Structure formats: structure tokens, C-alpha cells
Chains A and B, each alone.
Chain A
Amino acid sequence: MELARDVGESANFATYFTGSPAAESTPHLYISALATWSQDTNLCHNWKNQFSRIPVFTHTKGMIDLPLMTVSARSAIAAVAFSSDGTQIVSGSNNYYVQVWDASTGVELKKLKGHTSWVNSVAFSSDGTRIASGSDDKSARVWDASTGVELKKLNGHTGSVSSVAFSSDGTWIVSGSYDHSVRVWDVSTGVELKKLKGHSGSINSVAFSSDGTRIVSGSYDKSARVWDASTGVELKKLKGHTGSVSSVAFSSDGTWIVSGSYDHTVRVWDASTGVMMRVLWCHTSRVKSVAFSRDSTRIVSGCCDDSVRVWDAWTGMELKKLKGHTHTVNSVAFSNDGTRIVSGSEGKSVQVWDASTGVEMKELKGHTGLVNSVAFSSDGTQIVSGSSDNSVRVWDASTGVELKAMKGHTCVFERQHADCVWLV
């Protein structure tokens, strides 16, 4: 695991450097990036020992979590999201634009113009080809992510569109609005398929379950509701919050729902029974945004006290409090591989964080036989292992989570055939 940790930190450091103004000048890889890279790890200490004459940077709080990257937009950021491959970030802001950023350099790649008021919500389709946005101009729009061309304008809502989300196959969009309705749209035709009514207040947040069968919505009426996506029937009403529900999301397996509220709590619910499973207290701060990591082990929340918090989804323990923003954090999201968090703030900046918490640096448990061969993926994010238990397993290099198990081999991997596992 030492190696995986080093690789993870190296990847973080690479992002930290390439995403900073220091990247314009090679010496500043050492003089600026390394000098301000303060991790209490062997790797960091070793690097600094090699460069003993770089400036000395210390912090009064000791080791602090600095964002790996800070992208300055010229307007308050209302929404952020990663593309599914983690290479791009999309943001929506008060300047009416949807902007697409390179997730490793912070360079603006696209500016999508069309909305005539504040953009409240943005989303990438899972194949990365489409972007959806919702705006105070009462419309939701669909954009071609590569060309930046507006493909469809979804008209119908009679109030601001506060939230949009794609179904995982990319054929539907769900939108929530201040007109109290949730609507489902066909992406290719732009036709409104369903109108989900029941909430007695503005809708703040909507999301699809990953199988596309259900929709969850969070509302100013203090409730979250689960809907059948195809029939529009309300399946469950999640009651418990004592303030406006600002943000909702499904876990990737559809079992859990997480909700964030102005009542200072993050709550986890059983999606099928509607039973509240856990309450995470965000102290004195309103919660603006919540999301599950893809493996559902962690929850990230964006709070009005300018912090981004990472929680253990099962124990409810706060794993990290990331302070870097100077204003309310409006939107947070995990990258698909779970290594990064992106956050957008009132303070006109988008920040990218290392999502690893140290806690999840587990052994790669799973193999039931000797592990004969291991290899890294070329980008260092995954590890593949072959074992005498006749399986090949793929792991997330930074979290240690098993991503795939390929069983079916009938002969044992031999140590001398180490080359027989390879990741492309």
C-alpha cells in the first residue's frame, strides 16, 4: 500500500503543479509547488530532503489540506461537476455561462453561451458528450460538450430551473424548478415526458438513480421524495429535515439517498423503505450540496461555513474538513474514481481537492489465494492483480476499493508469468 499511496500522492502533486500558475516555469516545480506541498508523508519528506534549499513554507495550523487547484471564474459559482472520465469540470455561474475547464491545468476549454439569467445547475452525461444546464431564465438546455453548440432548449417550467440531471443512459433529463414541479424530458427530442407533482415548495435538487428507474427530489417544503421515473408516481416521502432540503443524491447502487438541508444536517435514507438511517451534523452551518462517492463509502458536503466536509457514509464520522474557500460552498462533487472532489463557491472560484482521507487506505482485500502479479494502469489510478485464486482483480489505486473481479481462469497465475496481467 505504501507504493499505492506514493503513486496517489505523486498524481496529486502533478495536478497541484500543472493546475497552478507555477507551471509556467519549470524551476517553480521545486521552488513553489514542492515548497508549499506540505504532506506528512515519507514521499514528501524525501522530496524535500533532496531540495533542501527551496523556500521554507510553514503553516500555523500545521499540516493543512490545500486545494490541488483553484480556478478563478469571474462570477459566483452555483454548480460544478466532473465529466465521468475526470478530465473535465463543468461549472455554472451567475454570469449566465456554463464553463468547461481542463481538470488538470485549470484552463477554460469552452464557454457555453445562451442562458439569459443565472445558471443554477450543470451536469455531464455519463458518456461525456452532453452537458445539461438549468437556469433562472426558466429553461433547461442541452449542449454538445465537444463543440459547445446548444442542442435543445427545454421549455415548460414556469419558474427558475434549480437542478438538472441526466439518466445514466443519457436519454432522459430530470429537472426541478421553483414552480414546485419536477419534469422528465427526452434529451434527443426535447419533449417533456412527465411532470411530477406533489411538493408544496420550490424544488432545489433532483437526481436519477443509476438504473434510471427512480428520481429523488429535495424541496423547500423540507421533504425529499422518491418517484417512479417512468410512471411519475410518488414512491416515498422522506420526512425528517426541519429546514429546506437543498441537495439530494442516490448512492450508485440505488440503495441509499443522501440529503443536505438548511437545518444543518446531512441525512442518509434507505431509498426503498424511506427510513432515515443516519444524521450527520454540520454544526452551525447550512448544507448547500451533498454527494456520494461512487463506491458509496463517503459523502461530501458543501457548507455555508465555507468548508467542504468529507464523511464516512457508514459511521457518520467526519473524515476531513477542507478549508480553502472564503465564501459559501454552493456545490460539491466527487470524481468518478473517487480521488478528487470539486467544489464551487460564492467566492467565484472552483477548487479541486485530493479526496483521499487516509482512512480508506486499506489493504486490497479480496483475493483468497496468493497474489502473484500486480501492475499499475498507465495513469496510475488503478491497480490490477492476478492471484492463485484464479481471479484477476482491478482496484482503485488511491482508495484500495475493488472495482472489478474477473473470475473464470482455471489455471493458476504463476509468478514467472508476471506479465500476464496488464491493464490497458
Chain B
Amino acid sequence: MRIVSGSSDNSVRVWDASTGVKLKKLKGHTNRVNSVAFSRDGTRIVSGSSDNSVRVWKASTGVKLKKLKGHTSWVNSVAFSNDSTRIVSGSHDHSVRVWDVLTGVEMKELKGHTSWVNAVAFSGDGTQVVSGSSDNSVRVWDALTGVQLKELKGTNWVNSVAISSDGTRIVSGLSDSSVRVWDASTGVELKELKGHTRSVNSVAFSSDGMQIVSGSDDKSVRGWDVPKIGCKHLAWNLADTNWIISSEGQNHYMWVPQAVKLAPPFTFLIISRSPFGIVEFRRSMIGVDWVHCYTPCWNRLVLGNPTAGDDHIVSN
């Protein structure tokens, strides 16, 4: 396991993830490095820099293979396609560009954003590119033709975007501290995940697309369950009385002690200095079904194992 990092000291470094030992230092950029990524096969590294260039490196030796020139301002974000043949880059010059890794040729320039492009990503099948910009929009592009397919309009700078591997969901991290989940095919916003208290700098999907992780200026990393349609338990509100109530406000799901600072709905993880309590209702019998919360050992097999496929039981 290796980690690649880019720094404002103009260097790219490769680290052994288990020992923390530095393996390689890739030198060449003449300004700070804003974005780095491994190709999926692990053989290549791409870096984007404020020297306006994108560079491709051989991961094992640290040798520079290609310098991709074309952007007229800082390169803020770079990413490989899953098949490692193409690179997408987003820049301060408002453009998104797609490059051929082997030849270093610019294949397409995707124009439309009216401000800095802060984040770019390929869809899992490599047919689409998604980009986030300080023009408050997330845009979806056809990676081959360069045609803009969708514009997801928001209300604040988009610092980070990611698309789920099945291509159905897009997540964006915003300067207004929100994480937003979108339906990739319709362009409809599905959910705003509230909890961060400052600008969200980075978002990513888990490989199964069921979870999102986000990092923020508020010094916390948070993990979120991607909201599913029809799962009422995931959405709740915390009342002044410290009761967790259903989103419609009808049901009192659970009381939590006042002394606990409770993580917001959908959260499954918080890495932070300040302590949080996290509740999860996924397998619980609440509402009128509460009597089934008791599963004495002798009939657990009869009632069925809680892990057996009946997640997200809705009871009101």
C-alpha cells in the first residue's frame, strides 16, 4: 500500500502506507502541487500544479514520463480514468481538459464553467467527467465528445466532487460546509448532509457507493450513509427535549442524554477532537414494533438473524 502526496514545496512524494516511510520524491514542478492521484493499476502517478502543468510519473522509479501543457492557469485537480488511459484536469483557467496518458495529447477541452474548476473526476466506466467549480455548479460532461450533459446548480463554491462507481450518484463538498448528494441521471439534489461547521474540502464515495466520507476546515472527517429512498429511520431530528423524533415529527424514536453531543442524521463516523455520540437505527425495532427489540437467546434463530437482509425496517 502506497500513498502519494503533493505539497506547496513543489514536490510529490510517495510513502509506504503501513510503515510511513518515504519511498520516492518526485521533483520537477516549479510551483505548488495542488492535486495528485495514482492510476488504478498503480503504475502511474499524475500531478497538477500551480505551474500550469500536469505531469505523469512512473510510480516505481519516480521518473517523469510526460508533461501535459495547455492550461493557462493553475491546475487544481487531476484524476485518472479507471482504465488508466486518460487523465482529466480542472484548472483556474475555468477549463476542464481530457488527456491521453500514452501520448500526452490533449483530447478534449470542456468549456462552460465561468469560474475556477476546483475538482474533477471520471465516472467508473470512463464515459463521463464530472467537475465542480467556484461558479457554484457541478457539471457532467461526455468524456469523448466534450458535450456538457448536466449542470447541477448550487449556492456556493464546489470544492470537491465524486461520482459513485455505478455512476448513479454524485456527491459535492461545498464552501458553505454542506455535503450534497445528487441523482446523476436526473440532476436532482437528493440530500444535503449537514454537520460540518466549516468549508468542506474533500469528498469521496466508498467503493460500493453506499457511504461517503468528507473532510473539512472544521478539523473533522465524517462518514455518512448515502440516503436511500424509503428508509425513514435514517432521517430524524433532535428536539430541544433531547428526543430524536421522526422527520415528520410524529414519532419519538429515542431519548439521548443531554450531556451527549449527537452527530447529525446519516452520520456513521466522526474523526474529530471533540467527542460525539452516534445513533444508528438500521437494524432496530422502534415505533410500534418495539416489542421485537427483545430477542432472547433461545429464539434468536426463530426470529432470524438481524443481519439477514431486512435492513431499514420502517415502522411508524
Contact = CB atoms under 8 A, between A and B. Distances in A.
Interface of A: 20-22, 25, 27-28, 30-33, 35-36, 49-61, 64, 66-67, 70, 72, 323-325, 349, 351
Interface of B: 241-243, 252-260, 270-272, 275-286, 290-297, 300, 306
Contacts, number: 109
B82 to A, nearest CB: 34
Given A36-B277, A57-B256, 4 more contacts: A22-B255, A51-B293, A51-B294, A323-B259
Contacts of B252: 25
A59 B294 contact: no
A397 B184 CA distance: 62
* Chain B interface main SS type: loop
Contact of B270 (A49, A60, A325, A349): A60
B278 A59 contact: yes
Contacts of B259: 66-67, 70, 323-325, 351
A349 B300 CA distance: 42
9 contacts: A31-B290, A32-B255, A50-B294, A53-B284, A53-B295, A54-B285, A56-B284, A57-B256, A349-B258
Contact of A28 (B254, B271, B276, B277): B254
Given A30-B290, A60-B275, A70 B253 contact: no
B253 A55 contact: yes
B290 A55 contact: no
Contacts of B277: 36, 57-60
Q: Which 5 A-B pairs have the closest CB atoms?
A: A324-B259, A32-B255, A22-B255, A53-B293, A56-B280
Nearest to A59: B277
Contacts of B284: 31, 53-56
A21 B258 CA distance: 10
Contacts of A72: 258
Contact of A59 (B242, B271, B276, B297): B276
B254 A32 contact: yes
B296 A50 contact: yes
Contacts of B282: 56
B242 A35 contact: no
Given A32-B256, A36-B260, A53 B283 contact: yes
B264 to A, nearest CB: 14
A21 B295 contact: no
A52 B280 contact: no
Contacts of A53: 283-285, 292-295, 306
